[in-house]
Structure 1
Amino acid sequence: MNKVVLAYSGGLDTSVIVPWLRENYGCEVVAFVADVGQGAEELEGVEAKAKASGASECHIVDLKDEFAANYIYPSLKTGAVYEQSYLLGTAMARPVIAKAQVELARKVNADALAHGCTGKGNDQIRFESCYAALAPDLTVIAPWREWDLSSRESLLDYLAERNIPCSASLKKIYSRDANAWHISHEGGELEDPWCEPSDEVWTLTCAPEQAPDRPEYVKVGIEQGAVVRVNGEALSPLQCLAQLNALGAKHGIGRVDIVENRLVGMKSRGCYETPGGTIMMHALRGIDELVLDKMTRSWKTQLSEQFAQLLYDGRWFTPNQASVLAAAESLSHVATGEVVIKLYKGNVTVTQKCSPYSLYSEAFATFGADNVYDQKHAAGFIRLYSLSSRIRALKQTDNV
């Protein structure tokens, strides 16, 4: 290898990977940092840190708007939720990061890509599946599957032996991944499913017990399956998400504690905080209730499960993804309207909803008198609907 572009975060793992690549592959290392909305604190000093560990260059690429508009919003239109709980924040960010990493590799004429994912997790598959689709000619290096370093202690010792500065320490017990959509937490006490997460686990949202005692209402405007307004103000996808994140976090919205099935076969426990995303999902479901008929809603449920699975499994750049997104997009043409949502101590409740494409008709649904529905017609419908059951029962009594 002559030049490798490393997906670099500035954390302990990638701080070790930079000198390890230079020593074991004799190559130049270019650090690539993706800004997907993890926050200024995580990005502060990252360029200096990368160069101090041996990187020849460090490129910080702002992907926040692209992430929100081209990955989060399309995924929202499908309604994807993994295993009924996880809103796919980590999985959703990987394709936009991998794509930008490949683009940088082409720009600097690199012949290899590297990442800091372990051999136990999903992210190695997500990144490398994207690499395969976008740059099959580039070699992929995954140090965690090659080196003999096996613990946090050994990584810290590796840096200390080379006098490479690192702010990491043995006191960090949680593994976290943050972006504009969510923050995830793994490790520490969470490795025991019998252990309730402590207050130290949660970093984004207020505990529901400590949330305001008065509910807050937020009006969400939706056009063709996309959230475009918050409390009447037109905003970009990233701005909508930021506003709803702040509102949801204040009221303890969007906490999830799940033991999930990883793609590699093992189960893992993760705690996720997705306040704005949770509000968006409820708002979009509220509109779907109005505009989609019974069979179409059932079909969208199938699409949602399909998309959640392919997104979790790292199959973004595939015909499967394109076809499911196309189907979801076709259903979103009528997903326009406004929803009022009540936020209260961790709960999200849709209290009002309207749409110009609503199939709800008070004239038909009313319990009062009406002039549009003849209840006698239901008898014939029920007789035909249950005809197979009637024939089966008659045959069992030998009457037919």
Structure 2
Amino acid sequence: MLDVLCDEQSPVEWTVSADVLCRIGEPALLPLAHAAATADSSEVARRVAWALGRLKVDDPGAYEPLLNHAHPLVRSDALFAFQTRGEAAARFIDRLIPLLGDPVPEVGQRAVWAFQAIGTAAVPHLQRVRRLTAPGPRVRAGALEALAAIAGPDGLDSRDQDAWRRLTRIKLLAEIPDGMHLCGSWYAVPATDQDAVLAAFDLGSPQPVTLRTGAAAWNHDHHSWDRAHPHAACSRVFISPALDGWMLVFGDSSQDTHRVEDADDRDEALSLVVRQRCTDLSRRFGSAQWYGMSCGDDWTAWCIAEAGEIVRHYDAYDAAENGDGELAHPAEAGYLLPHQDGFPDDAFDGVSPADSESFAVRYRQVKEDLQIPDTCYANDIAARLSVDPGALGPHVRTSGQGVLALTACGREHGHPAGALPV
């Protein structure tokens, strides 16, 4: 069965042999470990890892000897087996702790995930490690990451929280803005008064953070699928420092998020929430903008308000409301809108989309010959009207400091779990 699993040319689907090995259970453990250590391709290593971590073994202690294996892939696979046991692996905590400092970063990360799966039962053990010097700096750093992964900032004791605040203050002194990964939505208001922005969004308990921390929190929370903590995506918001005179607000407020979740038509409800929020903000600050982008598809959107009136709302997935595609705001001038196709029907005749190189050559040629404009996205409109957070750099004038602030849900449930970089 193992030979079939490792044979990439075998006519037998690999999942069949993997399933048989999983059913064999503990007798297959050491042969699979040897196969993982000697795998001659990433595909074989992936197959073996899948089977090794899912063996039908009653006692996860059978994997314990593999934690000392010389090959990092075997150690990682063993950790995955403990990770899949969740709370049932709690009795192995002391044995798993040294792996937090594994010299191979991927193994150390897998150890963090194993502790995250164990959950709150691991917190006092990890806090004890943080107070000891014997485990070494790598283990202690891994314990800190695991604590944050399990309970967020609330899992850190007062000394670690004070150390985090000191490091943040040090980093803020010399921070240079860097472009953010854009996935989700954000508001932009022309303001430098952070307290006024906090009040406008009903936010509290602001904690100073670097742009790096704030951006990581936004991306972490937006991509959260933690069903055990249903408020992970709506508990906190990142407010940037003033960037060229604009404050950017990243994240979902409790009120807006729950109004949308409770609605029968989510897309329509989101549009109404955005419009109302931009209207209210523009009355307060003179103007306001909302932008949305996705890293998983081509969705993009924006809403622009001036003096209490919506002057433009565009959503690439609701192009029917955009008439025949006429540019409705000066910031869109010179661009195609995302739902528009500027290429003639026969532009790619004879070229297979599967041939990416030929397709790209034809695309560039037709675009240049016909002078087809570039397509604009939310960040392009933001660059013209306020600030493009994806293009931050030393050229951006910065004042004040960013903060992570809690929404109504955050004030009730606390910060979401997860380690964030400083």
Q: TM-score, normalised by structure 2?
A: 0.23
Considering fraction of residues, name the structure with more helix: 2
Which one has the bigger strand percentage? 1
